[in-house]
Structure 1
C-alpha cells in the first residue's frame, strides 16, 4: 500500500485518506491458510505509549509517537475540533516520516498508513467528511494555515522517543537475528530539517 505523504496530500484529493480509512478497518499483516486468516503481530507493533485525547498542537511533547498522536487526532475529529485534528495529523505524519529516515527495515515504514486507517475506522462518516474539507484547505494551498502549522511543529521539535512502534511493525521483528533496527550514525538534526522542508514543505 502506498505511503500517505504530506507532499502528496497537498497535491491530491485528501478524500482518498478518508475513503482508505473507511475501506480498511482494521488492517493487519496476515497470511491465508486453508481459508482462515491468521494474524501475525510482533510484540510492540504499533504500540501506544501514551494514551492521549484530543488536544492542541501546543500541548504535544516530543516523546509522543505517531501511535500515540493518531488516536488523539481521531478524537479531535470525533469532537468536531477539525483545526486541531489537522494539526495533529500533520505532526503525526512528520514524526512518522522522521522515523522512516532512521528505521532500517523498509517493510516497517507502512506503520503510519495502518495507524491512519485504524484511527479513523470508527469515526462517523459525516465527521470524516467535514475533516477532509478542513484539511483540503491545506492541500489546496492555504499558506496562512500552512505557516501556522509549520511554526507550531517547529516549536514542538523533533522526536525524542525510540521508534519501537515502527520497528516492531516490520518483517525484521520476526527474524531470529535481525539487522540493526536504526541507521548507523543517524544525523537527527539533518533528518528533522529534511522532514520540515522536504516533507512538510516548511520554509527553510
Structure 2
C-alpha cells in the first residue's frame, strides 16, 4: 500500500499557474521537481566572512548564511557561529512580520538548505561552536551585545515573501507585511529570548 501511495505521489505532474509562470522556475532533484518563485530564499549580496560587528541591518538571512558558509570554509567557526545566530534571529523577526502564513517557514528551509552545503565534519564543528556560544555566558553576552549594535532588520523580507504560496500564485512581493506590526517590541522580545539579554 505504501509503495502504491508513493508511486501515485511521484506520478503527479504539477503545472505552475499560468498567471505567474514567468516568475516560477523548476528545480530538479533526482526524480523530484520543486517549483519555486524566482528570488525565494536568494541572497542579495555576497558579504564574505565578516565579523558580526561589521554586519549591517540590511543584510538578509540569505546574505548572512552565505557569509557563514564562507567562514566555515576558512575554518573560522566562531565567526560563522555568530553570523548563524544573527541570520536566525533575523529570520525569526521576518516570520513575525510577513502576512503570508505559508511563507513563514522560509527561515527553517533556508537553514536546512544551507546545512546541505556543508560536509559532515563541517556540520559537526559548526554545531559544536553553536552549542559553545549558547553554553558559555560570556560568549552569549557578547552575542547579545552584537545583536543590539546591529539592530533589528531594515530590509524588506522579499526572500521570505517570495517563498510563500501567495507569491507563487502571483501576489506582489513589494507588500506582504502584517499591518501595524510593532517592530521595536517584537525585536526586543526576540532578544529577550537569550539569557541575560534585555533587548
TM class by shorter-chain length? 0.7 to 0.9
List gaps (5 residues or longer) in structure 2. Answer: 1-8, 14-30
Out of 122, 125, 144, which is 1:127 matched to? 122
Out of 184, 188, 191, which is 1:189 matched to? 184
Structure 2 counterparts to residues 60-75 of structure 1, below 5 A: 60-75=55-70
Moved more, 109-118 or 175-184: 175-184
Assess, with a 3 A threshold, how the Cα gap between structure 1 residues 103 and 201 changes in structure 2: closer, same or farther.
Answer: farther
Q: Relative contact order (C-alpha < 8 Å, sep 6+): which is higher?
A: 1
Aligned to 1:15: none
Q: Distance in 1 between matches of 2:50 and 2:170?
A: 40
List gaps (5 residues or longer) in structure 1. Answer: 1-30
Assess, with a 3 A threshold, how the Cα gap between structure 1 residues 54 and 176 changes in structure 2: closer, same or farther.
Answer: closer
Aligned to 1:168: 162
Moved more, 174-183 or 89-98: 174-183
Aligned to 1:146: 140
Q: Distance in 2 between matches of 1:122 and 1:157?
A: 28
Give the conservation status (yes or no) of the 8 Å contact 1:105–1:170.
yes
Moved more, 36-45 or 153-162: 36-45
Aligned to 1:108: 103
TM-score, length basis structure 1: 0.77
Give the conservation status (yes or no) of the 8 Å contact 1:77–1:128.
no
1:88 paired to 2:80: no
Superposed displacement of residue 178, structure 1: 7.5
Give the conservation status (yes or no) of the 8 Å contact 1:108–1:170.
yes
Superposed displacement of residue 177, structure 1: 5.6
1:79 paired to 2:61: no
Q: Distance in 2 between matches of 1:191 and 1:63?
A: 17
Q: Distance in 1 between matches of 2:41 and 2:70?
A: 18
Deviation per residue, 1:91-135 (Å, 9 max, x gap):
001100110110111221121122212223232322221221111
1:55 paired to 2:50: yes
TM-score, length basis structure 2: 0.79
Assess, with a 3 A threshold, how the Cα gap between structure 1 residues 176 and 72 changes in structure 2: closer, same or farther.
Answer: closer
CA RMSD in angstroms, aligned pairs only: 2.1
Superposed displacement of residue 34, structure 1: 4.3
Between Structure 1 and Structure 2, how many residues are aligned? 172
* Structure exhibiting the larger radius of gyration computed from Cα positions: 2
